[in-house]
């Protein structure tokens, strides 16, 4: 794939020191899978513990931002062992002209966000018939 439709950063915990976020707390970069089909790109983002009502998707200046906010756990007591860290999720992607931005759809199921990014008609591969004279 010579031209990339989406450019992604590697998975990492995000730092809030630079003032990127207006809320306190830990932010993680969710792991994503991106599939390229003939007519669309499909992005799957893993955000365990986030419900559909706590996801914000913003598209501005060809940048798609995903923000997932964890609900307060409300756990009582001190942890004796904690292997799974929780926090909010934040990730951005640059969208090129290959994607029809007006037709992007999103769905959330079992902590996995699915974004479908349809390709514009001119970017969809097709066969050109040859006319005989």
* DSSP letter string, 98-115: TB-GGG-EEEEETTEEEE
Q: Residue 103 falls within a domain, yes or no?
A: yes
Domain coverage including residue 46:
27-73+82-123
Residue 8 has a pLDDT of 57
**What are the pLDDT digits (tens) for 78-126?**
878 878 777 899 999 999 999 999 999 999 999 999 999 999 988 778 7
Q: Residue 17 falls within a domain, yes or no?
A: no
Q: How many distinct structural domains can be found in the chain?
A: 1
**Tokens representing residue 106 in the block:** 């999103």
Q: Residue 88 falls within a domain, yes or no?
A: yes
pTM of the model: 0.72
Q: Is the pLDDT of residue 32 over 90?
A: yes
Q: Is the pLDDT of residue 2 over 50?
A: no
Q: Residue 4 falls within a domain, yes or no?
A: no
**Tokens representing residue 91 in the block:** 């990730």
Residue 30 has a pLDDT of 93
**What are the pLDDT digits (tens) for 56-67?**
999 999 999 999
Average pLDDT over residues 47-73: 89
Q: Residue 99 falls within a domain, yes or no?
A: yes
Q: Residue 98 falls within a domain, yes or no?
A: yes
- Residue whose structure tokens are 């089909």: 37
Residue 18 has a pLDDT of 46
Q: What CATH code is carried by the domain that includes residue 45?
A: 2.60.40.790
**What are the pLDDT digits (tens) for 99-110?**
999 999 999 999
Q: Residue 129 falls within a domain, yes or no?
A: no
């Amino acid at each position: 794939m010579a031209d990339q439709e989406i450019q992604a950063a590697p998975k990492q915990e995000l730092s809030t020191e630079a003032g990127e976020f207006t809320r306190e707390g830990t932010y993680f970069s969710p792991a994503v899978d991106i599939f390229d089909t003939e007519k669309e790109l499909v992005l799957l983002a893993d955000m365990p513990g986030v419900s559909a009502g706590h996801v914000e998707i913003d598209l501005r200046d060809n940048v798609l931002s995903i923000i997932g906010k964890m609900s307060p756990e409300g756990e009582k007591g001190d942890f004796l062992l904690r292997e799974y860290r929780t926090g909010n999720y934040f990730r951005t992607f640059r969208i090129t002209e290959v994607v029809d931005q007006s037709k992007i759809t999103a769905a959330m199921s079992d902590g996995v966000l699915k974004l479908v990014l349809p390709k514009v008609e001119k970017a969809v591969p097709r066969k050109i018939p040859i006319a005989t004279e």
